[in-house]
Structure 1
């Protein structure tokens, strides 16, 4: 693993539906979630102009498992769209407020020697799988409890040089954080993406044979039409081709659960990504690209999956999983 790197620093109401305004339908766009025909409203704030109100952010969860057990384990995941930019937008303050047991990051976009000091947060061990290309991909994992083992990548150089996977082993499960390859503009990278889906699915199956798996990250696909604002105009767009959606279906068929849709099968307007263009976030013209996916034999431990739409600092928002372990 010549390019994958590790830093360890140790220091002192659910299931209710929601209604949203029907989005304006436009021509298909390779810019995910972009409504190009809409005229931006100057009174609506742009994403970069909004700060997270951490004082009013409620990070508690009263939801229990189906048999009444309260949550005692929290995992958060966030595509930060550049760790250095996110730090400038108080992204580390969000992590300190959320206080998850495990925090997973995608699109760190930073080489190891350029990681700023602010990435070190008291009380956490941190681990980084960073690619060889500056400003591209990269994933990170924070953990209050030191894992039994850490693995970087899939043992496949064609992916591992980009920094796309960290696997952390704990007593009762594996945590896998991933940033899945994008099919790209004009779907030029679709064949590579589809091969990734096969290789990654086989990797997860091999883990699941040993211990249950908790998978999180930016999966770069909206699985069903309910998972994006404009499905009809994006069937040829990266992230919503039939081939990519079939890849997610195939993964779930292997004994894994999309926790959000398990809990909220009919909830609309639930997105985790919005383009910076056209005030998409303020209009909620978005995509659900970020997931927590569990092995089926962990489903009885599930309490809730929350989308933190009120947290800014990236074109994605964090997602949070509550479990009883």
Structure 2
């Protein structure tokens, strides 16, 4: 039986199944549910989300939602100390060990917005959470550590209900070899129908067709980066369950690595890749690919420079 979408009866937040809804309710949603029973609390949550959008380029809400969920989990758990200890295992330095690189969220141009965000979360804690154990993270230094923890460790969660449906359609329409000729017209019709759907969706939502989120994964966060990685992150079950999948044969005793950069940044020049890694993860990459490209000039191509200007 296919699982049905479930809505929270109070706030209409959607969940992929009854099990998912119950887990969310038990872990954090009971605290964060915007049911209009406390409009001041709901308004403060929306204010915090809006502040985060003003800090984070491009605007998104999954990261700040993660902070709110961590606070709510601390509120609802029976063992706050154990949860905090797990949280503190993630890398959270605001600058590299040699103090050369600072995380991009802590740049001078974001100081005012970051302080406003910290104050709003502090207010949220005092009025609705009362988490003495979380107060340090809401001090000026602690909040910088919290932002760095998110920036350096969180993994994007991307699934696509449409892509799963298309995959199932293609599986149903794949002809057996014996009937390939007879089934070809039907297969063509399915492909044309799918193409038409993608075109219509593109008119409405553009490239934003995935279900996107963000999470902290203990084991995945232990994987180091390489610009020539031998594994990648996939969501094979079309939910938040993360899988590390190899992309080539891995030798005995060879380290398993993933690429921290987004798909569109992986083919950029060595200089551009290292700049992104320094800003987001606070290290200078010395993987085999970067080493082999060390003779390249430390400059950005014209196309990449235009992208950097747009990001700034």
Give the TM-score band, short-chain normalised: under 0.3
User: 1 or 2, which has the higher strand percentage?
Assistant: 1
State the TM-score, normalized to the length of structure 1: 0.20
State the TM-score, normalized to the length of structure 2: 0.20
| Greater RCO (CA < 8 Å, at least 6 residues apart) | 1
User: 1 or 2, which has the higher helix percentage?
Assistant: 2
**Structure label with greater radius of gyration:** 2
